[in-house]
Chain A
Amino acid sequence: MVPGFRSLDCRIAWMKLPCRVCRVGRKTPTLEDQKFAIFAFCRKILSLVDTSGEINLYHLVIVTPTLDLTNLRRLAQARRRCATKILELYKRANAGHIGSSLSCLEILVDLCFGRMEKEDVLVLSKGHAAAALYTTLSLSDRLPEKELSTFYQDGTVLAAHPPCSGAIRAIPFGTGSLGHGLGLACGIAFSCRFTGKSFKVFAVLSDGDCNEGSTWEAALFASQQKLSALTVVIDLNGVQGIGYTKNILNLEPIVDKWTSFGFAVAVAEDGNDFHSLSRAHNAVKNSAAPRCIIARTVKGHGISYMENTVEWHYLPMKDEHYAQALSELADAGLD
């Protein structure tokens, strides 16, 4: 961001492209100004030129394309396939933690279907969202699909929480007890200093993870050691095991907390939206400090009766719940 620029997020209708538009000028821009604008991309920067071909001296506009529509559509499709599979897995298993999985699904899809490269590492600290992890790994070809059908069954590798056996390469550590993931991710990121390898490490944490003292020990360490390979994504849905976070151990002001611990922090105000997630990642991607994305999400996202409820942390679906959930997913897909 150029100092002194004001910014607004908008979708420029004729470009059909979600953009961040930064302006500087002596008058407040109007829609009329944009109407006659021609945008010429030069990597991230373009000049605003009016239809006569003269440079508009009142405005300099920087447009940062944050996500192209093709990619958005691809992520949305992946998200819908994953959500359908997650619901199927939980229904067949008659198991809970559905709300937790749906809460972080877009975070995981964003990582597994785009952001992560082959050598990058993902640690799901909120292991109770294992179904979301298994599904995104499977549909992004990191876990054999046939394994998914064994979810929650006797003799499975894929229990309700990720396995500790190391049987699945894409799952470096089994988790399920909160507060472990960030320290483990720190260790993996720290190893690059000694091995000379170069890859990114992503740790996905929950509200509950941020209750644990060990998480804050790890945050201190990540900052002290300037673990620039590390990105923490906090699936901040505001709901914990048996209540709302603000009534249990209020984490706010959470941005200040992570910032004061030395992280480069960006907020995805809608953490269930790929555009919002992408903007947040991009805002801090060049940071030399470890990064923290605060993703403000909705527990049970996408299923109306589950959204932002405490009980759908644990409840399994009855037949009518399942039918409605599938119907809502289908409706969303048509939108």
Chain B
Amino acid sequence: MRKEFSSWIENFGRNESRFIFLTGDLGFAALENVQAALQERFVNMGVCEQNMISVAAGLAQQGLMPLCYSIAPFAVFRPYEQIRVDLALHEMNVKIVGNGGGYGYGIMGATHHAIEDIAVLSALPHFSCFIPLCNSDVAGACAALFRHVGPCYLRLGFGVWPADAGELEEFKPIRKLTGSRLARPKATIVGLGPVLLNVLPWILERAETDVFAVSQMPLVDLSDELVASLRASGLLWVIEEHRVRGGLGEHLAARMAQQGVPFRLHHTYAVGYPDGLYGSQSYHQSRSGLDPVSLQETFQRLSC
């Protein structure tokens, strides 16, 4: 998604003189076009994520529109107090962009993964997280990011929308990707980010479930369609490349319970590093049951 992001930002920055791009010394072979377009409005802050956030807050306080870029764990966890105090508590209009959300940086190891980012950022006041579903979703996510006046976070990953899945609806907080041919769907599947694409091929083929993508956290309004689907299916299956605590599963289950919807919850999430071993993003997805094969097996088990 980084390519799509830099392309959108380059265009946006050319036309918005208040826009300032800050990077924590990351973005090799990805942001050169942005740098060339923005010139002095592209600032390499060095490996100083705390200062990057505070400086961005100061810029925003003066009416500018700063964006802070790094890889997701460095953008979120190192400067978390600056994000909380300087941005969230002050409602500063600062965008944070983290590349490689989830296990995106694979074999780079645990320090480079971000599987708790949504939890910690969703807990903050005035804060929103935008999670595009696939590469072609990035432009819409960026537009939403800048429509949101206040502190917010864009979690970039990688995912290709299947060619046979029809046209993807434009970016929204909650979208229905596909519906069941059955009057009573076997499950209501709700996912966060590109990992949801791992279920799509065979779900589309069987057409026995409803599938929804959540692209904004914390949840804003539950769509009527989603609530109706869960009332009909009674089974909520949440899929996310994020830890169990504070992720989509817990948020959504609480919201559905508040709505009085009776349901059973199955949650497939990032388990971390249970055996202390590391590998590619696919490897970690597999260890968490988030890979296509594991997800299909889970579905068969659930729908029996």
Contact call A195/B48, Cβ cutoff below 8 A: no
Chain A residue numbers with a CB within 8 Å of B82 are: 180, 183, 214
Contact call B50/A214, Cβ cutoff below 8 A: yes
The minimal Cβ–Cβ distance linking A115 to chain B, given in whole angstroms, is 20
Contact call B51/A217, Cβ cutoff below 8 A: yes
The minimal Cβ–Cβ distance linking B74 to chain A, given in whole angstroms, is 13
Which of B18, B51, B61 is within 8 Å of A214, CB to CB?
A: B51
Q: How far apart sit A191 and B55, CA to CA, in the bound complex (Å)?
A: 9
The minimal Cβ–Cβ distance linking B53 to chain A, given in whole angstroms, is 8
Q: Is B86 an interface residue (CB 8 A)?
A: yes
The minimal Cβ–Cβ distance linking B65 to chain A, given in whole angstroms, is 10
Tell me which of A47-55, A93-101, A166-174, A233-241 binds B: A166-174
Q: Is A164 an interface residue (CB 8 A)?
A: yes
Most buried by A among B40, B59, B89: B59
Interface of B, secondary structure class, is helix
Known: A214-B82, A217-B50. Is A183-B55 also a contact (CB below 8 A)? yes
Q: Is B57 an interface residue (CB 8 A)?
A: yes
Q: Is B165 an interface residue (CB 8 A)?
A: no
Chain B residue numbers with a CB within 8 Å of A193 are: 40
Most buried by B among A182, A190, A218, A224: A190
Chain A-chain B contacts (Cβ-Cβ < 8 Å), number? 101
Chain A residue numbers with a CB within 8 Å of B53 are: 183
Chain B residue numbers with a CB within 8 Å of A224 are: 46
The minimal Cβ–Cβ distance linking A263 to chain B, given in whole angstroms, is 15
Contact call A173/B86, Cβ cutoff below 8 A: yes
Q: List 15 A-B contacts (CB under 8 A).
A: A164-B89, A172-B58, A173-B57, A173-B61, A173-B86, A187-B62, A188-B61, A190-B58, A191-B59, A191-B62, A194-B17, A194-B20, A214-B54, A217-B50, A221-B46
Minimum-distance CB pairs A-B, first 5? A187-B58, A183-B54, A191-B62, A217-B51, A187-B55
Sample of 5 more A-B contacts, CB < 8 Å, known A191-B61, A191-B62: A183-B53, A191-B58, A194-B41, A213-B50, A218-B54
